Chains A and B, each alone.
Chain A
Amino acid sequence: MIEYRIERRSGVATYLQIVQQTKQALRLGLLQPGDKLPTAREVVEATAINPNTVLKAYRELDREGLVEPRPGLGTFVRRSLARAEAGADGELRAELSAWADRARQAGLEYEDATALVASVLAQTFEGNR
């Protein structure tokens, strides 16, 4: 079961915080297909936020195909966002790690490397963000 942490002053809409935290749990494998999300009642009792906000977040996750409501039972995870290639022993990670070594040898600082990666990612994924 996942527990949501709501930050009221973060400037991020409350329903988006729930969407993002659910996705993060799916990426990290903390939530897996078949797992049940807490009911709206449980979430609002613990966080004192408006119930419609929780329902809006769950509708969004449903729309993205990540969860499904089962009438009378609750909302369940449909698919995971954890990817084998991104895991600790994945090929992509190994290549990126090798690249990071080369960047350091070439004299790049942490901030230089982060900026470079961010810029390449923005270029590569342009249009589908």
Chain B
Amino acid sequence: MNSDSTDRPAALEALGLGKKYRRGWALRDCSFRVPAGRVCGMVGPNGAGKSTLLALAANLLTPSEGGIRVLGGPLDDPELRRRFAFVAQDKPLYSGFTVAEMLRFGRELNPGWDEDTAQRVVAQGDLPADARIGTLSGGQRTRVALALALGKHPELLLLDEPMSDMDPLARHQLMGTLMAEAAEHGTTIVMSSHILAELDGVIDYLLLVDGGRIRLAGEVDEILSAHQFLFGAGEPADLSGHTVVETRQSGRQLSALIRPQGPVTGPWEAAPPTLEELLLAYLRSPQAPSLLTAEARTGAEVAA
């Protein structure tokens, strides 16, 4: 998993990536890497640009500026299509097909098809093989779409809000199935979500997309340990010298999320932030400077 990520090309590498719609820029100036073998959570509010970014990676949209490389290759390489799978938010399946026909479709289109894996994912959901896709619930359709994606054994799995319409049991089962796939095959998984609790403990890599920009990118552990949560009877002035993400005053107590630059002095109690605290603080503070860890920086930026 992590050990072989260094000698594999990055799963995703974007350089100056931007996408403009008629209404304006949905995504701008995005440069980041996701190394192979990571389980990456792409988080951010609705309309932040997450779906646009995933659709660009899946070659369903063309960038307006910059570019993105997937698994080290240019996106127009037909061989590349076999090596990644994309499950879009609207789960494009043929509604007239039955579950069995949909799986046969996957089998015939994919040379490396793994029938056992696909069948197991479907069987867990108790779906009759002769049920028509059009009659299934949203969560059941998601299950069929994930069965098709996992049956390909892709090197990279791009999932746009995969679990949003599933009940808690199905969510837990499918997250377990995804993690098992990553454990066994070193699959890179990039999934977007705005449910932060769903990703805690699951992801080891983070992309925070907000307002069409990348605000945080890198290993979760490294991002968390770069921050400190402070609270006490201090003054905002005591924080000068550190990068302040957010301060909040309640009565005499000041609480602050900072990126310490050197030792922290003052009447503070310090605690490491949780992933959820950290993300919420960034989302409340659009002016806070962005942070990309060394692994998340692209070659061009390292050289700069």
Q: Which residues of A contact B (CB under 8 A)?
A: 6, 8, 14, 39-41, 44-55
Name the interface size band of chain B: 10 to 19
Residues 1 to 27 of chain B near chain A (Cβ within 8 Å): 1-2
Asked whether any CB of chain A lies closer than 8 Å to the CB of B136, the reply is no
Task: Chain B residues near A47: list those with CB within 8 A.
Answer: 176
B177 touches A6 (CB 8 A): no
When the two chains form their complex, are residues A53 and B183 in contact, meaning their CB atoms are under 8 A apart?
A: no
23 contacts across the A-B interface (CB closer than 8 A): A14-B201, A39-B183, A41-B183, A41-B184, A44-B176, A44-B182, A45-B177, A45-B179, A47-B176, A48-B176, A48-B179, A48-B202, A49-B202, A50-B179, A50-B182, A50-B203, A50-B204, A51-B1, A51-B183, A52-B2, A52-B39, A53-B204, A54-B183
Q: Hey, which chain B residues are within 8 Å of A39, CB to CB? A: 183
Find B201's partner among A40, A41, A45, A53 (CB 8 Å cutoff). A53
State which of B172, B175, B179 has its C-beta within 8 Å of the C-beta of A51: B179
Task: Judge whether B270 is part of the interface by a CB distance below 8 angstroms.
Answer: no
The 3 closest A-B pairs by CB, nearest first: A44-B179, A51-B183, A48-B175
Give the CA-CA distance A47 to B2 in the complex, in Å. 20
Contact A52 B1, beta carbon cutoff 8 Å: yes
| Cβ B1 vs Cβ A45 within 8 A | no
State the CA gap A48–B163 with chains docked (Å).
Answer: 13
Chain A facing B: main interface SS: helix
- Taking CB as reference atom, which chain A residue is nearest B197? A8
Interface 1/0 per residue, B179-199 and A, CB below 8 Å: 110111000000000000100
The residues of B with any CB-CB pair to A shorter than 8 Å are: 1-2, 39, 172, 175-177, 179-180, 182-184, 197, 200-204
CA distance A44 to B178 in the complex (A): 9
Q: Counting chain A CB atoms within 10 Å of each CB, which of B2, B172, B182, B201 scores highest? A: B201
A103 CB → nearest B CB, Å:
36
Residues of A close to B179: CB separation below 8 A: 44-45, 48-51
Chain B residues contacting A14 (CB-CB under 8 Å) are 201
User: What's the minimum C-beta distance from A58 to chain B, rounded to whole angstroms?
Assistant: 12
Residue in B2, B180, B197, B203 whose CB lies within 8 Å of A44: B180
CB distance from A15 to the nearest CB of B (A): 10
Whether A45 and B182, one on each chain, are in contact in the complex, defined by CB atoms closer than 8 angstroms, is no
> In whole angstroms, how far apart are the Cα atoms of A41 and B180 in the complex?
5
Q: Is there contact, CB below 8 Å, between B204 and A46?
A: no
A46 and B173 CA atoms in complex are apart in Å by 8
Q: Which residues of B contact A8 (CB under 8 A)?
A: 197, 200-201
Nearest CB to that of A8 among chain B residues? B201
Complex Cα gap A45–B175 (Å): 8
**CA of A124 to CA of B176, assembled, Å:** 44
Most buried by B among A39, A41, A45, A49: A45
Contact between chains at B201 and A44 (CB < 8 Å): no
CA distance A123 to B177 in the complex (A): 48
Distance in Å: Cβ of B57 to nearest Cβ of chain A: 21
